Each structure stands twice: as C-alpha cells, then as structure tokens.
Amino acid sequence: MSPRRNRPKDSGSAGQSAEDDRPGRYGGWQSTQNWDGEEWNVRHVAGSSAQGKAYRCPGCDQLIPDGVPHVVAWPEHAGVDDRRHWHKACWNAKDRRTTRVQRSRNAPRF
C-alpha cells in the first residue's frame, strides 16, 4: 500500500512564502469596510495562527494575548507597517469610542 498523498499533484512548492499575503493564510476571512471616510481592509485572524505573538489593541490599549482570535485592520492604500491588531469587540465598537481611552490602573504605560 502506498502512502496517502495530501497535496494535489500539480501544486508547485510545498510551503508558502513570506510574501504570500492571501486572506486564507491566517485562518480567517477578509473584507473591506468604510470607516472614518476611508476604505479599510479587515482580516479576521484565527487564534491558532497567532501563536507566540502578542499585540496591543489600539481601541482599548490592552494586550491581545497569545493565541486569541482578533481582527487585523489597515487602510486600503497603506503599507504593511500600517496594519493594526484589534480585539473583535473593539473593532466593532470603534465608532462608539471616545477619543480619550480610559485605561485600567494596572495597564502598562507605553
């Protein structure tokens, strides 16, 4: 009996390159939303693809812990450096937030 082949025969390379930025790469789906008069790319990231990484949410200024599902958003005509990682609830509440974010007492001051 021959071993099972998991890849189609016509697939090129076995791995994905670092430049490959397809929406399905991070386990989520991508959409475009209009916010603040600008088009934003919004990608939902699965927690399993965020292993070993922690990000700071610009909506609440708290850490997004390792392995937690979240949202990555960036302006449509911006570069990779302008991507920001948000909690899903913070991204959904971005229009209801005030300009001054109240932080908890034990939040790190960066």
One-letter amino acid of 73? A
pLDDT tens figures, 45-101: 887 776 788 899 998 889 998 888 899 999 988 888 899 999 999 999 988 876 555
Instruction: Find tokens 């990608």 and name the residue.
Output: 43
> What value, to the nearest 5°, has the Cα angle with vertex 28 and ends 85 and 78?
45
Q: What is the pLDDT of residue 108?
A: 64
Helix (H, G, I), strand (E, B) or coil at 45: strand
pTM over 0.85: no
